[in-house]
């Protein structure tokens, strides 16, 4: 990975599209009863929609992802964040499937979010933006699918918060998905998961430049707090062994005398992660989307499994053995609940040293499992 | 635990003492070659020193501890932080042993630290305070022991950073310790350990009220940053299961509508932990003492084991099975290195659900192990 020329199997150059899916007169109705409009959605597509419109795969991205999953933006030398999975001959083979990826509602990469302009005031929403749920994110995805003239998806697929969207989608609208791939996700965050996100949010909101959420209006940016949030979260995305293998106790090359700056290589790495994150991500989106995860608990409702029991989806649930953010116990719980609803579920724990981040990396067993799942899914469509 | 009347087996009311152990004309010589003076040390003692002066046990406290390990300060309703271990009939039986506990060099509870007044300027040292090592902390402990007229300790005992001091002391001056108890400690932090501390320090130093370390001079206090540091660290002190058992996904009772405040009980708990911490701890001490831990690596030196090989100490090394800050692999490494130096080492992994914090709690196997170790140690002295 890293900066390199487009690979032979790349989807090539891609361009971000935008669609206004809801308006102020025909707004999005949120799960909490509020309405939101307009809602613009940024998305990309890769591959070709079949004449039968039966080969569409929707990618749901994670907390800090965006619509640019594969290929190269104009002039870019680094491909999209899931380029190792999407392209000709890759597990999501764009010679066979039509892939859609959209920036989430509440995001900051082209889709309406808390730092978008509120037409009613002419200023960014800030903390007046409504609280969201995973169900709301899915409603916007569904509107985009309809907008593209598609009735049923071959599959939805996502990791972490992306997998949570796939799970919600499949449970609520099983008639719209033939297959669902839920990777390194959770159906219910633990107290520890919530605790880490709470500290991250605290770091953002306690930054004086957060300005009560009105930083954009005031020409500020809570970069220090957002960087701290990212640095801490980043520790939870990697296994302890991965950090040890990458950095161990190596000194930072630029370090001279010991002090309270960047003395160790791992400190330099985290500092860099925090810094580049502030250049691409928005503090309010971090608050809103992390809170969406805290509240997600789709199996809590008494009728949670009714729709999907009547109309099964074929599920693939995957975890990574060194993931300590959403470890195997989270995925196993999802698989068990689905089995209670008589769903066809394949559950796989993949051995990988890289922790939660594994879902973004080339782990051969992981990619082979997705390849096999889609070979089967496509064969069923073509039957 | 919690607020309660003094237990029958309490050491009763105790008072903090202070000793000036180094002066500006006879300063402490630090491992890095610098000197520091004056150095005042706050300490407490429990029990009675025997006529033979052979029953003294030195307690080394952890990152955020202090000299008040047992009994009740005047007017207090809560006892010292290790009161469950120290007292008549307790594992450190003050009817038999004489216990000493001192606030660490670099601390903020009566011993000279970075927020003490620098006599040369009349202002708090701030970041001009010298960087410390575990060896420096031990030098000050040794000076206190000499000050109390003691030549050889029956034992030194400590958890976490406390255990690191005990390890250093036993390796460097084995003639001064008959026994050493190293609990939930590490001889070498991992990249993940360092990473968490790096983020904590960043939160403190990025707080505008840190004021480059001169907050005391300017009448400020970086409470927001210090609270974030503590909240994050606190997550690492508890096992995931302990957090789940204590809080799970329970809502915070005072929470009404969802938002970005304190919605879940675990958020309320962390918030409280952060808040009370700022009332008792100093931001600069947090920086200095956490950095001490990052650099600790006593087995790295080629001659690390020479002294103790010539003059063995009897070691007890303990870990807790759910500790993910300094897990069993850290303690096992210490035990193995000591075995290489032909030391008598008892290594025990204790089953406990509470993670790193277990060393502060009443875990029956843990206390029974310490009781047995000291019964044997006292029997050898009296032989």
State the pairing for strand pair A86-87/A92-93. Answer: parallel
pLDDT of residue B106: 98
- Residues in B closer than 8 angstroms to A192, CB to CB, are 235, 238, 240, 243-244
- Give Cα B221 to chain centroid, integer Å: 23
Q: Which CATH number is B193-291 given?
A: 1.10.1740.110
CB A9 within 8 A of CB A87: yes
Q: Which two tokens stand for residue B325?
A: 């800050």
- Residues in A closer than 8 angstroms to B192, CB to CB, are 235, 238, 240, 243-244
Report the alpha-carbon distance of residue B93 to residue B148 in Å, rounded.
20
Q: Do B227 and A264 touch (CB under 8 A)?
A: no
What residue ranges of chain A are covered by domains with CATH 1.10.1740.110? 193-291
Backbone angles phi, psi at B31, to 5 degrees: -60, -30
| Mean pLDDT, rounded, of chain A | 96
- Residues in A closer than 8 angstroms to B294, CB to CB, are 263-264
Tokens 């109309």 appear where? A311
Residue by residue, DSSP assigns B268-319 as HHHHHHHHHHHHH--HHHHHHHHHHHHH--TTSSTTTTHHHHHS--EEEEEE
CB A338 within 8 A of CB A315: yes
User: Three-class SS string for B231-256?
Assistant: HHHHHHHCCHHHHHHHCCCCECCCCC
Helix axes A283-295, A223-237, angle to 10 degrees: 40
Q: Do A227 and B203 touch (CB under 8 A)?
A: no
ipTM of the complex: 0.94
Active-site entry in A115, A160, A268, A331 = A160
Report the alpha-carbon distance of residue B101 to residue B79 in Å, rounded.
14
Closest CA to B274 of B207, B217, B326: B207
Active-site entry in B40, B54, B93, B323 = B323
State the pairing for strand pair B98-102/B39-46. Answer: antiparallel
- Other Cβ atoms less than 10 A from the Cβ of B284: the count is 28
DSSP B115: T
Report the alpha-carbon distance of residue A169 to residue A181 in Å, rounded.
11
DSSP A213: G
CB B79 within 8 A of CB B68: no
Asked if A247 has any chain B CB less than 8 Å from its own CB, the reply is: yes
- CB-based burial, A243-256: b 16+ in 10 Å, e otherwise: bbeebebeebeeee
Distance from CA of B190 to the nearest CA of A (A): 6
Q: Do A192 and B131 touch (CB under 8 A)?
A: no
To the query of whether residue B323 is one of the catalytic residues in this protein, the response is yes
> What does each of the 383 residues of chain B score in pLDDT, given as a tens digit?
334 444 558 999 999 999 999 999 999 999 999 999 999 999 999 999 999 999 999 999 999 999 999 999 999 999 999 999 999 999 999 999 999 999 999 999 999 999 999 999 999 999 999 999 999 999 999 999 999 999 999 999 999 999 999 999 999 999 999 999 999 999 999 999 999 999 999 999 999 999 999 999 999 999 999 999 999 999 999 999 999 999 999 999 765 778 999 999 999 999 999 999 999 999 999 999 999 999 999 999 999 999 999 999 999 999 999 999 999 999 999 999 999 999 999 999 999 999 999 999 999 999 999 999 999 999 998 76
Q: Which two tokens stand for residue B123?
A: 């202002």
Instruction: Note the pTM of the prediction, 2 decimals.
Output: 0.95
Which H or E element spans position B154?
Answer: strand B153-159
To the query of whether residue B54 is one of the catalytic residues in this protein, the response is no
Phi-psi region of B376 (alpha: psi -120 to 50; beta: other; left: phi over 0): alpha
Q: Which two tokens stand for residue A211?
A: 């300005």
Q: Which two tokens stand for residue B379?
A: 């029997």
pLDDT of residue B353: 97
- CB-based burial, A69-99: b 16+ in 10 Å, e otherwise: bbbbeeeeeebbbbbbbbbbebbbbbebbbb
Q: Which long-range contacts (CB under 8 A, 24 or more apart) does B335-339 make?
A: B337/B187, B337/B299, B337/B305, B338/B308
Q: Do A291 and B203 touch (CB under 8 A)?
A: no
Q: Which residue of B has its CA nearest to A265?
A: B191
CB A292 within 8 A of CB A106: yes
Q: Which CATH number is A17-189+297-382 given?
A: 3.40.50.1820
Length of chain A: 383
What residue ranges of chain A are covered by domains with CATH 3.40.50.1820? 17-189+297-382
Report the alpha-carbon distance of residue B206 to residue B224 in Å, rounded.
10
Report the alpha-carbon distance of residue A301 to residue A305 in Å, rounded.
8
Q: Do B258 and A295 touch (CB under 8 A)?
A: yes
Q: Which of A195, A263, A264 sits opposite B235 (nearest CB)?
A: A195
Q: Which CATH number is B17-191+295-382 given?
A: 3.40.50.1820
Q: Which of A190, A202, A265 sits opposite B231 (nearest CB)?
A: A202
Q: Do A199 and B228 touch (CB under 8 A)?
A: yes
What residue ranges of chain B are covered by domains with CATH 3.40.50.1820? 17-191+295-382
Report the alpha-carbon distance of residue B279 to residue B269 in Å, rounded.
16
pLDDT of residue B9: 82
CB A223 within 8 A of CB A278: yes
Chunked into runs of 10 residues, chain A (383 residues) has average pLDDT values of: 54 97 97 97 98 98 98 95 98 98 98 97 97 98 98 98 98 98 98 98 98 96 98 97 95 81 95 97 98 98 95 98 98 97 97 98 98 97 78
How far CA B74 is from CA of A355, B16, B83, in Å, comes to: 50, 10, 15
Report the alpha-carbon distance of residue B20 to residue B50 in Å, rounded.
24
- Other Cβ atoms less than 10 A from the Cβ of B119: the count is 11
Q: How far apart are the first and last CA of chain B?
A: 37
Backbone angles phi, psi at B118, to 5 degrees: -80, 115
How far CA A17 is from CA of A14, A39, A70, A102, in Å, comes to: 9, 14, 14, 9
Report the alpha-carbon distance of residue B157 to residue B61 in Å, rounded.
9
Backbone angles phi, psi at A205, to 5 degrees: -75, -25
Report the alpha-carbon distance of residue A301 to residue A135 in Å, rounded.
13
CB B42 within 8 A of CB B67: yes
Q: A 166-195 residues with CB below 8 A of B? A: 188-192, 194-195
To the query of whether residue A61 is one of the catalytic residues in this protein, the response is no
Q: Which two tokens stand for residue A209?
A: 């430049």
Asked if the peptide bond before residue B38 counts as cis, ω within 30 degrees of 0, the response is yes
Asked if B31 has any chain A CB less than 8 Å from its own CB, the reply is: no
- Give Cα B322 to chain centroid, integer Å: 19
Q: Which two tokens stand for residue B306?
A: 């020479």
**Sequence-ordered list of residues with C-beta below 8 angstroms from that of A280, at least 6 positions apart, any chain:** A109
Report the alpha-carbon distance of residue A43 to residue B245 in Å, rounded.
42
Report the alpha-carbon distance of residue B2 to residue A379 in Å, rounded.
64
């Amino acid at each position: 990975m890293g900066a390199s020329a487009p690979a032979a199997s790349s989807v090539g150059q891609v361009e971000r599209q935008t669609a206004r899916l809801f308006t102020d007169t025909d707004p999005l109705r949120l799960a909490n009863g509020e309405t939101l409009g307009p809602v613009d959605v940024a998305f990309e597509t890769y591959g070709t929609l079949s004449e039968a419109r039966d080969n569409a795969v929707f990618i749901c991205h994670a907390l800090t992802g965006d619509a640019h999953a594969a290929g190269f933006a104009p002039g870019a030398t680094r491909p999209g964040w899931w380029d190792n999975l999407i392209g000709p001959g890759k597990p999501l083979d764009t010679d066979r499937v039509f892939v859609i990826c959209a920036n989430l509602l509440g995001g900051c990469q082209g889709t309406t979010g808390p730092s978008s302009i509120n037409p009613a005031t002419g200023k960014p929403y800030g903390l007046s933006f409504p609280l969201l749920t995973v169900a709301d994110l899915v409603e916007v995805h569904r509107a985009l699918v309809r907008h593209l003239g598609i009735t049923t998806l071959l599959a939805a697929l996502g990791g972490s918060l992306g997998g949570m969207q796939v799970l919600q989608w499949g449970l609520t609208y099983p008639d719209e998905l033939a297959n669902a791939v839920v990777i390194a996700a959770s159906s219910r965050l633990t107290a520890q998961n919530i605790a880490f996100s709470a500290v991250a949010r605290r770091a953002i909101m306690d930054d004086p430049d957060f300005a009560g959420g009105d930083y954009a209006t005031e020409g500020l940016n809570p970069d220090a707090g957002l960087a701290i949030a990212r640095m801490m979260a980043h520790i939870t995305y990697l296994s302890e062994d991965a950090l040890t293998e990458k950095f161990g106790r190596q000194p930072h090359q630029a370090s001279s005398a010991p002090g309270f700056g960047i003395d160790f290589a791992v400190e330099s790495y985290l500092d860099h992660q925090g810094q580049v994150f502030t250049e691409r991500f928005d503090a309010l989106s971090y608050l809103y989307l992390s809170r969406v995860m805290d509240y997600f608990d789709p199996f809590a409702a008494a009728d949670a499994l009714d729709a999907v029991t009547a109309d099964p989806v074929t599920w693939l649930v995957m975890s990574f053995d060194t993931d300590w953010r959403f470890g195997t116990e989270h995925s196993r719980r999802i698989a068990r609940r689905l089995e209670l609803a008589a769903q066809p579920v394949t559950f796989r724990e993949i051995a990988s040293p890289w922790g939660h981040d594994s879902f973004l990396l080339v782990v051969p067993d992981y990619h082979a499992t997705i390849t096999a799942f889609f070979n089967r899914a496509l064969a069923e469509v073509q039957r």
